[in-house]
Amino acid sequence: MKYRKFGKLDWEASVLGFGAMRLPVSGEVILPFNPNVDEPEAIKMIRHSVDSGVNYIDTAFPYHAGKSEVVVGRALKDGYREKVKIATKLPLFIVNTKDDLDKIFNEQMERLDTEFVDFYLMHGLNKMAWSKVKDLNILDWAEKKMGAGLIKHLGFSFHDEYDVFKGIADGYDNWAMCQIQYNFMDTEYQAGTKGLKYAADKGMAVVIMEPLRGGLLVKAPPESIKKLWADAGKKMSPAEWALLWIWNQPEVSVVLSGMSEMKQVEENLSAADRAETGLLSASDLEVVKKVKQEYRKLSKIPCTRCNYCMPCPNGVSIPTVFDLYNTAFMYDDPAPSRLQYGFLPEEVRAGSCIECGQCEEKCPQNIPIMGWLKKVNDLLYTEPIEIPGSSK
């Protein structure tokens, strides 16, 4: 296992972190909220990872409908708690008043069966959630928990545009770390490469989520992409290529992997043993670039996310729903896109289009947006998904 300095902290983190959002489950696999965790296997996987050098475990309040924190807490018995740092998250989407904060935090400590949490993240920060953090003075509340020794360090996970990310990073002086979605396909998406570098320059540790795009980058790639990997002449799996591409960048502290079976644990541990900055050559990086271009060719809608179409007068998030539609075709699997579409509020979905035509007048790509929005809704529509709330 390789280790890297964790931002400004006097601590080195394993380059591979165990993400407890996709633990092994029984029954219908609806992640990340399936509560039917195969607990013995999950504990075996977590402990094997720790025995192999992993020292960063990430979980959150809603993962596996609350069971993730419970299983992590049980896995870290028998002396394992002292070997790792735990990161969990405040579910801002169910915080409505200040009274909710202690209620949720106390439940999390009970689930994890720990006296303190090493990293406490504001979960899924975006523009609206950041406003809630400020309006309810949540950071003041969190600092009181830090003063009591219940929280060691604060951070945030992020899902919004770069300018919002920059504002959050600059909006509080005591962030220890941030967690962003990042992989070789998402360099311009959300925080992206700019956000990675900006946070690192501020001395924040950067933890990477979705390094394999939820497994889409390794799940039965099309023949054209298989050929690109094979022609590179390296005995590496698509997962190794994707992980090593991220670890190649010095600004990255930890890469989280949501592992669902022991085979994945072993493969990722092996890759982590090779993690170095500068490991990939210029020709290797060119291969990754060609793979990215090949995936992009499989997109149906030629949207560049320039945002000229926005704001939609009826609230539709046009670039977001187009990205989900394209993702379904790039990876030949609409299920993950349908899941994400289900989390979107009804007003931002494609079905809320009233065909006013303003977006088409502004689009520099001359995309027939209204027609595509109908196709998006036809393919991705699902009933809105509610995030599980507190059990108490």
Read off the amino acid at residue 373: L
What was the pLDDT predicted at 390?
A: 42
What was the pLDDT predicted at 68?
A: 96
Measured CA angle at 265 (ends 251, 260), to 5 deg: 105
Lowest mean pLDDT segment, chosen from 139-143, 164-168, 318-322, 386-390: 386-390
Joined together, the tokens standing for residue 244 give 């090593």
Among all chains, which residue has been given the structure tokens 């600092």?
Answer: 143
Average pLDDT over residues 344-366: 92
Strands in 94-162 per DSSP E:
117-125, 151-158
Chain centre distance of CA 216: 13
What DSSP designation does 346 have? G
Average pLDDT over residues 321-332: 89
Q: What is the mean pLDDT of the chain?
A: 92
pLDDT confidence bin for 227, thresholds 50/70/90: very high
What DSSP designation does 37 have? B
Q: Is the pLDDT of residue 392 over 80?
A: no
Average pLDDT over residues 295-322: 89
Cα–Cα dist 13/247, whole Å = 13
Residues 133-167 have pLDDT tens digits of 999 999 999 999 999 999 999 999 998 889 999 99
Cα–Cα dist 387/92, whole Å = 11
Cα–Cα dist 339/31, whole Å = 9
Instruction: Please indicate whether residue 151 or residue 218 has the higher confidence score (pLDDT).
Output: 151
Average pLDDT over residues 115-125: 97
What was the pLDDT predicted at 339?
A: 85
Helix (H, G, I), strand (E, B), or coil: what is residue 3? strand
What was the pLDDT predicted at 249?
A: 95
Among all chains, which residue has been given the structure tokens 């990722």?
Answer: 268
What was the pLDDT predicted at 340?
A: 84
What was the pLDDT predicted at 391?
A: 42
- Ordered structural domains, the chain, with CATH: 3-287 (3.20.20.100), 298-392 (no CATH)
Instruction: Please indicate whether residue 33 or residue 276 has the higher confidence score (pLDDT).
Output: 276
Joined together, the tokens standing for residue 174 give 């005591």
Q: How far is CA 154 from CA 69, 82, 105, 187, 272, in A?
A: 18, 20, 14, 25, 26
What was the pLDDT predicted at 188?
A: 87
Sign for the CA dihedral angle at 227, 229, 235, 238 comes to negative
What was the pLDDT predicted at 380?
A: 94
Joined together, the tokens standing for residue 324 give 């989900």
Residues 18-37 have pLDDT tens digits of 999 999 998 765 555 788 99
Residues 230-254 have pLDDT tens digits of 999 888 999 999 999 999 999 999 9
Cα–Cα dist 38/15, whole Å = 26
Q: Is the pLDDT of residue 389 over 60?
A: no
Contact 205, 176 (CB under 8 A): yes
What was the pLDDT predicted at 213?
A: 87
Joined together, the tokens standing for residue 279 give 């490991």
Cα–Cα dist 310/319, whole Å = 8
What was the pLDDT predicted at 233?
A: 87
pLDDT confidence bin for 305, thresholds 50/70/90: confident
What was the pLDDT predicted at 343?
A: 82
Q: How far is CA 377 from CA 109, 170, 361, in A?
A: 40, 37, 21
Instruction: Please indicate whether residue 188 or residue 68 has the higher confidence score (pLDDT).
Output: 68
pLDDT confidence bin for 48, thresholds 50/70/90: very high
What was the pLDDT predicted at 344?
A: 87
pLDDT confidence bin for 169, thresholds 50/70/90: very high
pLDDT confidence bin for 386, thresholds 50/70/90: low
Torsion of CA 30, 31, 35, 38, to 10 degrees: 100
Contact 183, 246 (CB under 8 A): yes
What was the pLDDT predicted at 388?
A: 56
Residues 72-107 have pLDDT tens digits of 999 999 999 999 999 999 999 899 999 999 999 999
Contact 275, 247 (CB under 8 A): yes
Helix (H, G, I), strand (E, B), or coil: what is residue 175? strand
Neighbours of 259 (CB within 10 A): 25
What was the pLDDT predicted at 112?
A: 98
Cα–Cα dist 128/262, whole Å = 38
Cα–Cα dist 334/328, whole Å = 4
Contacts of 163-172 with CB under 8 Å at 24 or more apart are: 164/125, 164/126, 164/127, 164/130, 165/190, 165/191, 165/195, 165/198, 165/199, 166/195, 166/198, 167/130, 168/125, 168/130, 169/195, 169/198, 169/199, 169/202, 169/204, 171/130, 171/134, 172/139
Strands 16-19 and 205-209: unpaired
Contact 1, 53 (CB under 8 A): yes
Cα–Cα dist 373/191, whole Å = 25
